Amino acid sequence: MYNPPKPQYDPELLVQYIEACIQELVRVFPTVDIVIAGDFNQLSESRVVASTGLSQIVRQPTRGTNVLDQIYVSDPFLYDTVRVISSVVKSDHKAIVAYSGRRKVSPANKSTRVRYRKVTPGQHAAFLQHVSEDKFISSTPPDSVQAAFDYFYNQALGLLDKFYPERTTTLRSRDPEYITPYIKSLLRKKNRLMRAGRVEKAGAIACRIRKEILKGNRSRLQKYNGRVDAKEMWAAVRQLTGRHQQPVTVDSIDANSLNEHYANISTDVAVIKAYSQSGMDPRLGHKLPGV
């Protein structure tokens, strides 16, 4: 919830409304855990605790020296750890992390300086115009094939450095897989433009970033055939999206238990015979021992 610094309503009415909601929840769900979290601003903590019976578990300042962001719980032991940390979004408020179980530690965010070559249509045009006039012919005939190759190699490297010079940027270990050095440079350029108030140009770069990410992800997934390599394809998709596969279980029933149940009650003679001829267990779909 959010209680503004200067509300247009009476704060006492808000406390009464919270109290009425909690009473209704407890009446309908007697064993429910209740958590109210948000920016309460100047709403009296003692007044909320006295009216609702909840416990306030945030004890560190969340903005300056004030505890404005709070968490009220019906069970004071609901969370084992409550931490106040710097927010990942731009805000003068800090973030609150409340959790139970094993202590969570964020891995170190390592920085690596990487080199890349920026490639744009303008660079291509300048390069093609130059090479159309340069024939790569040495004024003095080379003494050997190796000398000719060295000459051409040096010329090619010189053109590469001239029209596509190397640049450096910093990649961090927490960056997503699809963030390349070029995309990272575009992100920084967009941020600089946004800070300077050049919103339209920043929006155009944001569109370019989106196209670069889509192109990279598309080329990465094209090597998988969805009909043949479905498992590998979805593993790559989960790696790109940052989501992890979680087994779905409802009332201790999962896909394997359902498969076993329907295999055990199956009475289709043709299916059982086909499995037996192939050396497979008709109930589990596994190879029979010794077959």
Evaluate if pTM is beyond 0.85.
no
**What mean pLDDT do residues 50-62 have?**
93
Does residue 3 belong to any structural domain of this protein?
Answer: no
Does residue 105 belong to any structural domain of this protein?
Answer: no
Give me the chain's average pLDDT, please.
Answer: 83
**What mean pLDDT do residues 10-21 have?**
93
Percent share of the chain, pLDDT over 70 = 81
Does residue 52 belong to any structural domain of this protein?
Answer: yes
* End residue of a domain, out of 66, 99, 132: 99
Where does the pLDDT of residue 10 fall: very low under 50, low under 70, confident under 90, or very high at 90 and above?
very high
The three-class DSSP label of residue 289 is coil
Domain count, the chain: 4
Does residue 2 belong to any structural domain of this protein?
Answer: no
pLDDT tens column, 31-43? 999 999 999 998 9
pLDDT tens column, 117-151? 888 888 999 888 888 876 666 666 777 888 888 88
List the domain range (segments joined by +) for residue 147: 110-174
Q: Is 231 exposed, middle or buried (CB count within 10 Å of its CB: 0-12, 13-18, 19+)?
A: exposed
- Looking at the structure, tell me whether residues 187 and 219 fall in a common domain: yes
- Looking at the structure, tell me whether residues 16 and 94 fall in a common domain: yes
- Looking at the structure, tell me whether residues 238 and 254 fall in a common domain: no
- Looking at the structure, tell me whether residues 94 and 116 fall in a common domain: no
pLDDT tens column, 203-257? 999 999 999 888 888 877 777 776 666 777 777 777 666 665 666 666 677 777 8
* End residue of a domain, out of 49, 73, 99: 99
* End residue of a domain, out of 174, 204, 224: 174
